Amino acid sequence: MYFRRHPITPRRRTPLLAAATGLLLTGMSAISACSPGSSETADASLAALPSSDQSRLSAYYDQSPKWRKCGAPGFECATLKAPLDYAKPSAGDIDLAVSRKKATGPGKRLGSLLVNPGGPGGSAVGYLQSYAGIGYPKEVRARYDMVAVDPRGVARSAPVTCLDGKQMDTYTQTDVTPDDSHEKDQLSAAFKKFAAGCETTDRTSKRILPHVSTVEAARDMDLVRAAVGDEKLNYVGASYGTFLGATYAGLYPERVGRLVLDGAMDPSLSARDLNREQTAGFETAFTSFAKDCVARSGCPLGTGTPDQAGKRLKSFFTTLDRTPLGTGDPDGRKLGEALATTGVIAAMYDEGAWPQLREALTAAMTKKDGAGLLALSDSYYERDPDGTYTNLMFANAAVNCLDQPPSFTSAKEVEDALPSFEKASPVFGAGLAWSSLNCASWPVPPTGEAHRITADGAAPIVVVGTTRDPATPYPWAKALAAQLSSGRLLTYEGDGHTAYGRGSDCIDGAIDTYLLTGTPPKDGKRCS
């Protein structure tokens, strides 16, 4: 089970993957339920509701946040109400957690800048308070109130809950490269237990589960826009946050301000195609890592070509499938193939983590010590040392499985597709294909499907793609920029997931200029 993330780290690269948000690869979301080029607005939605409910939706837009101090100095928090079901506001409310850090000056305030780090499942409030509110360029923070809302189902906003810590430990160690019918049954059972837990573990979770789609989260963002007093939405979204931002633009094109979509998704692809293309993205990233590694003395993957290094890593995974390694973990967890693969994939998101990965692989492959790879895996799943997990993975699956029909509905379908996944990635293909079965047993039917978003009439939208991005492959950024009527493609020629704030003065300068002046980069601009 693998997901996208935008790292919560300092703006410059760091080898530590201490905290992150992400998007589950399996059962990925792809697109909202709005039609291509929809000019639907909140007012249009309001008019379509029964007259008895119209005043209730108006009340959501008339909210005045009651801000209170929270977190680090300078941050404030508030709670906004949102309808559980926009189609039926009388069905009740949910609470949305919102945070902000007011513009510091000097210079004229430009409004609010909403940020989202990705996921689905990443806490935007946590991202704001840990990174964006202090790490974005001071010129941007001087002119904008930095604002974040935890999307519905996530963190502080009616969170989805599925399994406890011990159950999650078992789940994350489940073999996702089954060798026989018994192991296939075990994998299917693990997915079913996870899905059932989301309905039965917590009353809030069961209530929110049918209403955590990206469309509904985008509508919630419009409530936040109104609550902070902005006529248009200014927004920076990374990874899954690009899908959320594009969905907003599709719903409310006339309310688009300055939108940056960094590490973009292609909303026109089916879940299966998204999974397969992301699998190829991880192979591209691994090839880049392997090329760097084999050129160094003491590379744990030996010498030779990246292809040879990949075969050695795959062989190592196979060995772990039979004989897991000790880790020194106080809860007794060993490093099997599943956790080791997750640890390697975690380091693909940022080339600054490559030294950490080399060290972890060296310890595991030569010293039989799996602690380093386990630590990388834990950072990926957001598992704390005390054995507790954030709700990242729960919300992740809940949104993805609602946004699109499942990639696969049976083991037979996975088996038929295995050759194409293994062609996309000889190292990771089989595991990622089988992981894509996770939405097959989801208790809530999907409400969305894949299609294009054009957002006709929207102001210029900057779409950013990284050429060797593992999680959101570069062709996706090209596709989204082409779909959006006002899309402007900005390319970073390099490694890692997302581009803004990762060390390229060219990328940062282009985005900062757009946010501060409204002037987008020339379409097709390339940076390194």
Tokens of residue 515, six digits: 């946010």
C-alpha 268/C-alpha 284 separation (Å) is: 22
- At residue 334, the 3 state secondary structure works out as coil
451 is catalytic: no
Q: Which of 405, 4, 381, 409 is nearest to 192 (CA)?
A: 409
Beta bridge partners of 93: 83
> Sheet harboring 525-527: ordered strands across?
68-69, 75-83, 93-101, 144-149, 111-116, 233-238, 256-262, 461-468, 487-495, 525-527
469 is catalytic: yes
Catalytic residue among 469, 486, 495, 504: 469
Q: CA angle 104-241-190, nearest 5°? A: 130
C-alpha 77/C-alpha 65 separation (Å) is: 9
Sign of CA dihedral 208, 273, 23, 254: negative
Question: H or E stretch including 256?
Answer: strand 256-262
181 is catalytic: no
Q: Can you say whether residue 37 is alpha, beta or left, with left for phi > 0 and alpha for psi between -120 and 50 degrees?
A: left
Beta bridge partners of 24: 3
Catalytic residue among 99, 123, 205, 239: 239
Catalytic residue among 262, 379, 435, 497: 497
C-alpha 180/C-alpha 437 separation (Å) is: 16
Catalytically active residues are 239, 469, 497
